[in-house]
């Protein structure tokens, strides 16, 4: 792992050394993962959320959003098509929705594992250690829980009612339970500075994470941050490139927020240190309602077509869309 000081990071974040930074990040990713790009099929099974994150379109006070939950059968159907299309991981994501009991979610995980040889990643928000333990026993492999920023004031401003120390404790619990654990940040949140970003990058790199996601802030019109400036795609790319240099074997996705701000930039990020893409397998009837931010899930095509076009875009870059489960190489 390379070491970078806070002042090195600030220099790279200034954008004055972009070609050197992106070439190094791409080389580091290739050294560890070769030309493979891991595909994960994501099923966004509920857009209900009890929280009020100031940036997110799913926040509870957003009464303009049409809410949905898909059934257990539809989750299983989507998962089967992910496996049948040769993707090695299903990601089950939702708002912080406590409608499904821990046992119901556990039953879904068990059923997926009984039917298919596929890795299961969960991204269900702030749940208890007991729930995490149950789902791990049922066969869940990974959990994603982003800290969003390490700057306490900014965290409090963005996530009213949430506690940063609890988020960190949950990440530690997940690690103790044997999950592969992912976290990450939103770049360009209102009030975020390069100093904060440098601190975020250094802290994330000390946490022993198997996955790190950093995507730009996209303002949503039905949130308190509607009129804030969007994050910057180039800045987000610098952040993921720096994370790659500091975390060579960690899985780093090219986020869909990139495409929401600059179409094509998600695939382009695969040449700047990212090694994962997560096409949506949420049923077409509700996909657009998983409206975290404008531009999210706006491709109206069937999942098969989306995957085919992602695969050919990856191949056009000289990379290989992998069918493997794509575990972390952090300890490799």
Of 59 and 244, which CB lies nearer to ligand SF4 in the complex structure? Answer: 59
| 56 annotated as belonging to a binding site for a ligand | yes
| Partner that binds at residue 59, options ligand SAM, ligand SF4, none, CB closer than 5 to 8 Å by kind | ligand SF4
96 is an interface residue for ligand SF4 by CB under 6 A: yes
Of 139 and 294, which CB lies nearer to ligand SAM in the complex structure? Answer: 294
Counting residues that bind ligand SF4 (by CB under 6 A) gives 9
278 is an interface residue for ligand SAM by CB under 6 A: no
Structure tokens at 44: 């966004």
* Candidate segments 80-88, 131-139, 211-219, 266-274, binder of ligand SAM by CB under 6 A: 211-219
Q: Are 71 and 99 in contact (CB under 8 A)?
A: no
Structure tokens at 131: 């729930």
Query: Which one of 55, 100, 135, 143 is in contact with ligand SAM (CB under 6 A)?
Result: 55
Nearest to 25 by CA among 275, 321, 328: 275
| Partner that binds at residue 248, options ligand SAM, ligand SF4, none, CB closer than 5 to 8 Å by kind | none
Query: Minimum CB separation from ligand SAM for residue 49, in Å?
Result: 6
- Angstrom CA distances, 322 to 37, 40, 240, 314, 326, stand at 6, 10, 21, 10, 8
93 is an interface residue for ligand SAM by CB under 6 A: yes
| 148 annotated as belonging to a binding site for a ligand | yes
What is the helix (H) or strand (E) element at residue 84, kind and residue range? helix 72-84
49 is an interface residue for ligand SF4 by CB under 6 A: yes
List the beta bridge partners of residue 92: 43, 122
96 is an interface residue for ligand SAM by CB under 6 A: yes
DSSP state of 94: E
Largest CA distance in the chain: 52
Of 24 and 173, which CB lies nearer to ligand SF4 in the complex structure? Answer: 173
Cα separation, 274 vs 254, whole angstroms: 6
Residue 17: φ, ψ to 5°: -125, 35
- Provide the mask over 100-139, with x wherever binding to ligand SF4 is found by CB under 6 A and - wherever it is not: -------------------------x--------------
What is the helix (H) or strand (E) element at residue 11, kind and residue range? helix 6-13
| 49 annotated as belonging to a binding site for a ligand | yes
Cα separation, 288 vs 8, whole angstroms: 40
Please, is 316 exposed, middle or buried when counting C-beta atoms within 10 Å of its C-beta (0-12, 13-18, 19+)? Answer: exposed
Counting residues that bind ligand SAM (by CB under 6 A) gives 20
Integer-rounded Cα radius of gyration of the chain: 18
Cα separation, 125 vs 130, whole angstroms: 14
- Provide the mask over 125-164, with x wherever binding to ligand SAM is found by CB under 6 A and - wherever it is not: x-------------------xx-x----------------
Q: Are 184 and 201 in contact (CB under 8 A)?
A: no
Which residues are at the interface with ligand SAM (CB under 6 A)?
A: 49, 55-56, 58, 93, 95-96, 123, 125, 145-146, 148, 186, 215, 217-218, 220, 257, 292-293
Detail the residues annotated as belonging to a binding site: 49, 53, 56, 123, 148, 159, 167
């Amino acid at each position: 792992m390379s070491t970078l000081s806070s002042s090195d990071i600030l220099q790279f974040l200034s954008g004055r050394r972009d070609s050197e930074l992106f070439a190094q990040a791409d080389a580091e990713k290739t050294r560890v993962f070769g030309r493979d790009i891991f595909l994960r099929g994501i099923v966004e099974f509920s857009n209900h959320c009890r929280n009020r994150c100031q940036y997110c379109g799913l926040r509870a006070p957003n009464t303009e959003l049409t809410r949905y939950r898909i059934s257990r059968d539809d989750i299983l159907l989507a998962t089967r098509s992910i496996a049948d299309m040769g993707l090695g991981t299903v990601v089950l994501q939702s708002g912080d929705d406590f409608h499904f009991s821990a046992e119901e979610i556990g039953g879904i995980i068990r059923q997926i594992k009984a039917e298919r040889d596929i890795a299961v990643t969960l991204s269900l928000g702030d749940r208890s250690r007991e729930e995490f333990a149950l789902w791990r026993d049922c066969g869940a492999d990974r959990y994603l829980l982003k800290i969003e920023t390490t700057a306490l004031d900014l965290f409090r401003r963005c996530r009213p009612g949430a506690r940063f120390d609890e988020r960190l404790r949950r990440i530690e619990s997940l690690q103790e339970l044997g999950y592969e654990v992912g976290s990450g940040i939103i770049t360009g949140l209102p009030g975020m500075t390069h100093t904060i970003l440098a601190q975020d990058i250094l802290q994330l790199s000390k946490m022993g994470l198997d996955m790190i996601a950093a995507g730009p802030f996209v303002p949503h019109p039905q949130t308190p941050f509607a009129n804030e400036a969007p994050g910057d795609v180039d800045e987000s790319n610098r952040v993921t490139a720096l994370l790659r240099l500091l975390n060579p074997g960690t899985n780093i996705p090219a986020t869909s927020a990139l495409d929401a701000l600059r179409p094509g930039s998600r695939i382009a990020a695969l040449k700047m240190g990212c090694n994962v893409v997560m096409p949506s397998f949420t049923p077409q009837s509700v996909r657009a309602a998983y409206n975290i931010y404008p531009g999210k899930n706006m491709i109206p095509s069937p999942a098969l077509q989306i995957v085919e076009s992602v695969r050919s875009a990856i191949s056009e870059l000289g990379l290989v869309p992998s069918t493997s489960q794509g575990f972390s190489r952090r300890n490799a």
